[in-house]
Amino acid sequence: MQTGSRIDNIQEFTQICREHRLKITPQRIAIYRELLNSDTHPAADTIYQILKKEYTNISFDTVNRTLLTFAKIGIVEVVETFGGAKRFDPNVTNHHHIHCSQCGKILDFYSRAYDKLAVPDGVYEQFQVVSKRVILKGICKDCRQ
Amino acid sequence: MQTGSRIDNIQEFTQICREHRLKITPQRIAIYRELLNSDTHPAADTIYQILKKEYTNISFDTVNRTLLTFAKIGIVEVVETFGGAKRFDPNVTNHHHIHCSQCGKILDFYSRAYDKLAVPDGVYEQFQVVSKRVILKGICKDCRQ
DNA sequence: CTTTTTGCAAAGCGTTTGCATTGAA
DNA sequence: TTCAATGCAAACGCTTTGCAAAAAG
């Protein structure tokens, strides 16, 4: 099942970068900070659009490659989507997702009952299960007006 | 929650096409048949590669557009992925998915316990929930050798 | 016959790669 | 000073669109 805890501050972030021998660049800090500031699991381009206002020189590639690097070292997760661009989540603790089918936003929610679900026997025989998540789909408050 | 039942045969399929005023073409029948034959939730291109051996003239576009049409009328579902091409599922009954992180195969499984899960209160207030599914990730038997 | 569907080609996104330049350590 | 990271450009893969020809009803 999912392990590890959410990194809430930039100090912890730089510490983890050092452990993985990743250089700490202003871009990496800014990208990680934007990820923490958002709660809708942004795509690379969403983060790029925000950051290029502040850092006129930043490139989409850096944002995208950095997010993939973060995923590789386990501080962000690529979340499930139904087509379209990859979406990223800085929350690597045990949690679940709800997708709005209208506006595409993805929100986290928590449920002890969901966390406690056992993996069915038939699955255990076929798969070595690594993670478990409940995905809800629906229409959010904003989209219902 | 999910409703509707799996369409097991081509007769039912043609009936539903008629109800939606979709013309019944050899391509549509072949595409739907291939979807039923597969249990790994193929991408459009996977189905295209299979069908072009049999129907030398079929185009990728037809396969792709047809799958999207099927999704629109509700006889197939676009399933969750973690990047890459859309994957399609002809099983629109209540079920759950397990993904192999190595080979990318997606398999259905069933669990009464999972089906019975209630939507948490906090979510009900924010979302009108339409569907609910448990997503497991792991390594399948084949990939473990 | 009418209208939808098909196949093809081109365009549109999102992602990935190679490479010279820049910057962190 | 060294080596990783960045920015840029080009390539690649998946998806979508417009349109003339073909096929279904």
Quick check: is A4 in a domain?
Answer: no
Residue B6 is predicted with a pLDDT of 57
CATH number of the domain within which A133 lies = 3.30.1490.190
Residue A145 has what pLDDT?
80
Task: Tell whether A1 is covered by a domain.
Answer: no
Give me the percent of chain A exceeding a pLDDT of 90: 88
- The domain that holds A47 is classified in CATH as 1.10.10.10
Q: Is A82 helix (H, G, I), strand (E, B) or coil?
A: coil
Give the C-alpha separation, B10 to B51, whole Å.
17
User: Gap from A137 CA to C17 C1', in Å?
Assistant: 36
User: Residue A3: what pLDDT?
Assistant: 41
Looking at the structure, do residues A67 and A85 belong to the same domain, yes or no?
yes
Q: How far is the CA of B45 from the C1' of C14 (A)?
A: 17
Residues A33 and A16 in one domain: yes
Cα B2 to Cα A42, B5, B124: the distances in Å are: 27, 9, 17
B112 reaches A (C-beta below 8 A): no
- Residue A4 pLDDT greater than 50, yes or no: no
Answer yes or no: are the C-beta atoms of A118 and B113 closer than 8 Å.
yes
Q: Are residues A78 and A140 in the same domain?
A: no
| Contact at CB, A141 and B127, closer than 8 angstroms | yes
Collect contacts of A64-72 with beta carbons under 8 A, ≥24 apart. A66/A27, A66/A28, A66/A31, A67/A31, A67/A35, A69/A22, A70/A31, A70/A32, A70/A35
* B61-87 average pLDDT score: 98
Tell me, yes or no, whether A67 and A127 share the same domain: no
Domain membership flag for residue A20: yes
Residue B110 lies in a domain: yes
The strand D neighbours among A residues 85-144, by Cβ under 7 Å, are none
CA dihedral for A7, A9, A12, A17, sign (positive or negative):
positive
Does residue B130 lie within any of the structural domains?
Answer: yes
Residue B3 lies in a domain: no
Same domain, B73 and B108: no
Q: Which of A98, A117, A140 is facing B114, going by the closest CB pair?
A: A117
pLDDT at A112: 94
Picking from A46, A73, A89, the residue at the C-terminal end of a domain is A89
Same domain, B76 and B138: no
Q: Which is it for strands A96-100 and A106-109: parallel, antiparallel or unpaired?
A: antiparallel
**CB nearest to B132's CB, from A119, A126, A134:** A134
Contact residues, chain B, for A43 at CB < 8 Å: none
pLDDT at residue A8 is higher than 80: no
Average pLDDT over residues B112-120: 94
Residues A15 and A47 in one domain: yes
Closest CA to B89 of B10, B34, B128: B34
pLDDT tens, residue by residue, A113-122? 999 999 999 8
Burial of B46 per CB tally in 10 Å (0-12, 13-18, 19+):
middle
* pLDDT digits 0-9 by tens, A20-37: 999 999 999 999 999 999
pLDDT mean over B72-88: 97
Chain B residue whose CA is closest to A140? B127
Domain count of chain B?
A: 2
**Do B82 and B103 reside in the same domain of the chain?**
no
| Beta carbons of A7 and A91 less than 8 angstroms apart | no
d(CA B39, CA A64): 33
Identify whether residues A108 and A78 lie together within a single domain: no
Whether the per-residue pLDDT at B4 is higher than 60: the answer is: no
**In chain A, what residues touch B122 (CB-CB under 8 Å)?**
109
Residue with the two structure tokens 């992925």: B81
User: Cβ B100–A127 below 8 Å, yes or no?
Assistant: yes
Q: How far apart are CA B7 and CA B32, in angstroms?
A: 10
Q: Which residues pair with A133 in a beta bridge?
A: B135
Please list every residue in chain B whose beta carbon sits closer than 8 Å to the beta carbon of residue A117. 113-114, 117, 134
B110 within 8 A of B97, measured Cβ to Cβ: no
Count of Cβ atoms closer than 10 Å to residue A21 Cβ: 7
CA A59/CA A45 separation, integer angstroms = 10
Question: What pLDDT shows up at residue B145?
Answer: 80
Q: Which residue is nearest to nucleotide C24 (CA to C1')?
A: A23
DSSP A27-46: HHHHHHHHHHH-SS--BHHH
Domain that holds residue B120: 96-144
Domain membership of residue A3 (yes or no) is no
Residue B41: the pLDDT is 97
Instruction: Give the tens place of pLDDT for each residue, B16-48.
Output: 999 999 999 999 999 999 999 999 999 999 999
Can you count the helices (H) and strands (E) in chain A?
A: 6, 5
- A130 and B86 within 8 Å at the Cβ level: the answer is no
CA dihedral B82, B83, B87, B92 (to 10 degrees): 40
Looking at the structure, do residues A61 and A127 belong to the same domain, yes or no? no
Confidence band (pLDDT; 50, 70, 90) for B86?
very high
CB-nearest to B135 from A98, A133, A144 is A133
Is B4 contained in some domain?
A: no
- Shared domain for A80 and A110, answered yes or no, is no
Residues of B within 8 A of A109 (CB-CB) are 120, 122-123
In chain A, what is the straight-line distance between the N-terminal and C-terminal CA atoms, in Å? 37
CA of A22 to C1' of C17 (A): 20
Query: In this structure, are A64 and A126 located in the same domain?
Result: no
Per the confidence metrics, is the pTM higher than 0.75?
Answer: yes
pLDDT at B8: 63
In single-letter form, the type of residue at position B36 comes to L
Contact between A82 and B80 using a beta-carbon 8 Å cutoff: yes
